[in-house]
Amino acid sequence: MRGNGNKPWGKIWFHTKAQRKIEVQRIANNYAQFCIGSSLCLDFSLCLCVKPNFALWLISTFIAFAPPIVDLYHCLSLPFTSSLHKIQNMKPLVISFLMCVVLKFNMNNPLLGRWSSRPSKNNIVTIVHFKADNSFEGFVNKKPFVTGTYQLDGTVMSFVDNGCNGAKGIYKLNFFSNGDSLRFEAVSDTCAERRKGMSALIMGKIK
């Protein structure tokens, strides 16, 4: 097919601007559906087969997005009558990408949320809040006592906090009871007080 005096774009030809707009919308919708579907499939398979980590997440995300890249190229290279149409058609692409990123990140971080210990013999309850921005806050009887940042590599957590003169702690996370309970096993921590406290902690996820 040839357009009425329109130049050809790649292998896609359109008679009218309306047809072009419809085609772009179809590509964008298909793209969004493909991204979400494939990403979910990959997440599921990864969780079953391997321990999630950043490298695997990157690879799986690339695989999820690679096939529609050709469609994406066409979306960007086609002419539009206004930039507003372009933005509107890009919305499904952006939303699906953000959803995949959030979904991936949340599914790869089993620490996210609040964890609490049982009361000790002195009635002391420790709560730790792990946040999505890699920061955490610790509380003793609801009083803030420590703040820091953490990194997760599989089930190994490394972190620094505002105590212990900036010394890094590396701990293996032992989840049990369907991932709702957690123990910390010291791998490397020069801060003796912190090591002693964390090794004794058993925490349950607060729902």
Which spans of this chain sit near other proteins (rule: CB under 8 A)? 122-124, 129, 137, 139-147, 162-163, 165
CB of residue 169 to other proteins, shortest distance in Å: 15
CB of residue 138 to other proteins, shortest distance in Å: 9
| Nearer to other proteins among residue 82 and residue 122 (C-beta) | 122
| Nearer to other proteins among residue 71 and residue 137 (C-beta) | 137
Backbone angles phi, psi at 52, to 5 degrees: -70, 140
| CA–CA gap between residue 96 and residue 32 (Å, rounded) | 5
CB of residue 13 to other proteins, shortest distance in Å: 55
Residue pair 93/31 in contact by the 8 Å Cβ criterion: yes
Per the listing, tokens 């002693």 go with: 196
| Nearer to other proteins among residue 83 and residue 165 (C-beta) | 165
Nearest to 203 by CA among 110, 134, 133: 110
The β-bridge partners of 127 are 116, 139
User: Which three-class secondary structure state does DSSP give residue 192?
Assistant: helix
| Nearer to other proteins among residue 20 and residue 129 (C-beta) | 129
Residue 189's Cβ-count burial label (10 Å; 0-12, 13-18, 19+) is buried
CB of residue 157 to other proteins, shortest distance in Å: 21
